[in-house]
């Protein structure tokens, strides 16, 4: 895995990065909100086709997806396809009291409830070991081509990715409007291995 950035940021630089990230979040969220639904659906299907062609997806026995929030690349069809291919599908469950995220098996019926921060989670919590994951599909508000990622600011994915075994590939999914020339990074940010976009 691409390592976390240098941990020697000065406090003033850390504040500047936090402000820049917040402005970028507002800009990208507005872009996602203004994108037409049929464009989102079409591009999500293109991204799905690209993901399904990757070697790491073909070889994976257990894949962690995310359940898309409004505006994000939709993963519903990807999840269905993975299940049809006999893969174990997990999705994140956030444990707010521990500021921790864990992979949870999404059963055949895929029943969901609203979790912390409004993110849908499985009603039945059947946790899956990190070491058993063969691929992690990651959401984000913005990415750059070096694998840097801008999340929603809670740090759950950064903490999760830091705990993953080094050999586990991580792939970010994005629309082309979410790709930036550079994403500002701080000491706690963790890069991903690859971005698939349309």
Domains and CATH numbers, the chain: 11-197 (3.40.50.10420)
Residue 144 confidence (pLDDT) above 70: yes
Average pLDDT, the chain: 90
- Check residue 186 and give its pLDDT: 84
**CA gap 28, 33 in Å, rounded:** 9
For residue 99, report the phi and psi dihedrals to the nearest 5 degrees: 50, 45
Region 31-42: mean pLDDT is 96
Residue 12 confidence (pLDDT) above 60: no
What's the whole-model pTM score?
0.89
- Confidence at 1, pLDDT banded by 50, 70, 90: very low
Neighbours of 166 (CB within 10 A): 7
- Check residue 187 and give its pLDDT: 81
- Confidence at 117, pLDDT banded by 50, 70, 90: confident
Region 134-143: mean pLDDT is 97
């Amino acid at each position: 895995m691409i390592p976390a950035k240098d941990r020697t940021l000065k406090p003033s630089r850390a504040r500047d990065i936090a402000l820049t990230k917040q402005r970028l979040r507002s800009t990208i969220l507005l872009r996602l909100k203004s994108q037409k639904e049929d464009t989102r659906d079409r591009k999500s299907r293109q991204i799905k086709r690209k993901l399904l062609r990757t070697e790491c997806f073909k070889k994976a026995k257990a894949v962690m997806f995310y359940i898309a929030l409004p505006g994000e690349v939709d993963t519903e069809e990807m999840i269905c396809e993975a299940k049809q291919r006999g893969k174990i599908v997990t999705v994140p469950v956030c444990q707010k009291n521990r500021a921790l995220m864990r992979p949870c098996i999404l059963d055949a019926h895929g029943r969901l409830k609203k979790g912390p921060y409004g993110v849908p989670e499985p009603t039945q919590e059947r946790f899956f070991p990190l070491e058993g994951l063969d691929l992690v599909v990651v959401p984000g508000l913005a990415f750059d081509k070096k694998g840097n990622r801008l999340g929603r600011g809670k740090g759950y994915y950064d903490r999760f990715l830091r705990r993953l075994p080094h050999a586990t590939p991580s792939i970010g999914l994005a629309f082309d409007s979410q790709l930036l020339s550079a994403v500002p990074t701080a000491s706690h940010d963790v890069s991903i291995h690859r971005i698939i976009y349309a």
